[in-house]
Amino acid sequence: MPLLVMKFGGTSVANLDRIENAAKKVQEEVARGYDVIVIVSAMSGKTNELVGWVEGTSKLYDTREYDAIVSSGENVTAGLMALRLQEMGIGARSWQGWQVPINTTDAHASARFVSIPRENIDADFAGGNKVAVVAGFQGVTEGGRITTLGRGGSDTTAVAFAAAFGAERCDIYTDVDGVYTTDPRIVSKARKMEKIAFEEMLELASLGAKVLQTRSVELAMRYKVRLRVLSSFEATDETSGTLVCDEEEIMESKVVSGVAFSRDEAKMTLVRVEDRPGVAAAIFGPLAEAQVNVDMIVQNISEKVAGDAKLYTDMTFSLPVNQVERAKKALEDSRASGAVTYAELITDTETAKVSVVGIGMRSQVGVAAKMFAALAAENINIKVITTSEIKISVLIDRKYMELAVQTLHDTFGLEQA
């Protein structure tokens, strides 16, 4: 039998009515002749509630117990989904991570997959069941402890199962009907894409687009798992949603496929850092140890100070605004220890990152010039620029973010198919 993986997020299974709606979509695929592995998240809001219970009980909690508690939301959803399918006359059973088993590392709250043996679920299909409902977001260590994969881990679970079982496709059901050229709430002309390449989706996900979790796209690209993003709340068929696939499946790529943004960014600048071998490691090593997620990095040209033989430079980088205080402490501790010296630390917490993404950039010149000219025409000042083969990102004042997104969407004609 051909096999399909279907994943339903928290909003898609938020209550019994929505679970029934999701079960009907599973029923449609069974009627088409598929065996189906369904990956479910916890009901919307339940994981946050469970995390709150943990933090309300113990501030310095044991992460093993955290995982045991927080993973329980998915178990409830899996059981309810299996019961609903059974009521509809479909052979189904629920599977918790340890029952499959989903073998992971022992990094509690951020575990990684080790293996997903097929034998147990294959035997269940061979015995007559048509649907395996698997609790997402969780696994089990070699020692038998429950683990969780980090927030958004159910997307990753779905892709991992599709890879392990050689699924024809992995369908991700959510509260949007596909991947858009940008957020339709900001640009009313945003267009739903029929197809998007893995690399483009990975860039968009990492740059702030919240349709798919970044790790799930990385895994899909590595194992060539065809992903489809579609709505739980609309009638769908095999042409619905957006297909995330190999570049070779896309007839002709636009130069720019989408505009992504991240609203809550900050910019930090270390003024007059001694320019010597190892200084970058001395700055960014402690930031990494403090779990600060540094993104864009710019180093100014070196210069001398009168009466001083040493060379100095300024180092600027961006980071999430909620990590600024952690970054400040790490840098101040480094300066106090003598590992790095700087004259001043300047922080700007009112910035945003806006990016254009497209695999067509590989073969098209002038994209950056066109982007910068469009922003300049709107008097939007660029603070930091970074590029890759298929992406250009700029850091700007946050108050201009929506204008920048709208301008770039129009400039590159993304409303046109």
DSSP 17-77: HHHHHHHHHHHHHHHTT-EEEEEEPPPTTHHHHHHHHHHHH-TT--HHHHHHHHTHHHHHH
Burial zone of 337 (CB within 10 Å; 0-12 exposed, 13-18 middle, 19+ buried): exposed
The reported pLDDT for the residue numbered 90 is 98
Report residue 128 as tokens.
């007559």
Residue 277, number of CB atoms within 10 A of its CB: 6
Residue 175 is labelled as binding a ligand: yes
**Is 8 marked within a binding site?**
yes
Question: Is pLDDT above 80 for 105?
Answer: yes
Confidence of residue 309 (pLDDT cuts 50, 70, 90): low
| Of the candidates 182, 208, 184, the residue with the CA atom closest to the CA atom of residue 196 | 182
* R_g of the chain computed on alpha carbons: 24
Q: Is the pLDDT confidence value at 132 over 70?
A: yes
Helices (H), 88-147: 119-126
* In the predicted structure, residue 307 carries a pLDDT above the cut 70: no
Res 153 pLDDT > 80: yes
pLDDT in the model for residue 300: 83
Whether 74 has a binding-site annotation, put simply, is yes
- Residue 9 labelled as part of a binding site: yes
Q: Confidence band (pLDDT; 50, 70, 90) for 306?
A: low
pLDDT 10s digits, 18-58: 999 999 999 999 999 999 999 999 999 999 999 999 999 99
Measure CA 275 to chain center.
Answer: 35
Sign of CA dihedral 409, 187, 203, 351: positive
pLDDT tens for 180-197 read 999 999 999 999 999 999
Q: Is-contact 41 134, C-beta < 8 A?
A: no
Instruction: Check residue 182 and give its pLDDT.
Output: 93
Query: What's the rounded Cα separation, in Å, for the pair 332 and 286?
Result: 10
Q: pLDDT value at position 208?
A: 66
Q: Is 25 annotated as a binding residue?
A: no
Pick the range with the lowest mean pLDDT from 221-230, 314-323, 360-369: 360-369
220's enclosing H/E stretch is helix 214-223
What are 59's two structure tokens?
């501030």
Stronger pLDDT, 305 or 402, i.e. the higher one: 402
Write down the mean pLDDT value for the chain: 93
Give 393 or 303, the one with higher predicted confidence.
393
pLDDT of residue 220: 95
**Neighbour tally for 237: CB within 10 Å:** 8
Instruction: Decide if 273 contacts 340 (C-beta within 8 A).
Output: yes
Question: Tens digit of pLDDT for each residue in 247-295?
Answer: 888 877 789 999 999 999 999 999 999 888 888 999 999 999 998 999 9
pLDDT of 301 strictly over 90: no
Residue 56 to residues 25, 48, 51, 108, 370: CA-CA distances in angstroms? Answer: 38, 12, 8, 19, 52
For the ranges 83-87, 183-187, 345-349, the lowest mean pLDDT is seen at 183-187
Q: All domains of the chain, ordered by start, with CATH?
A: 3-175 (3.40.1160.10), 260-411 (3.30.2130.10)
Is 66 known as a binding-site position?
Answer: no
Per-residue confidence (pLDDT) for residue 373, from 0 to 100: 97
Residue 211 labeled ligand binder: yes
pLDDT tens digit string along 214-229? Answer: 889 999 999 999 999 9
Q: What is the pTM of this model?
A: 0.84
Collapsing DSSP states into helix, strand and coil, what is residue 160? helix
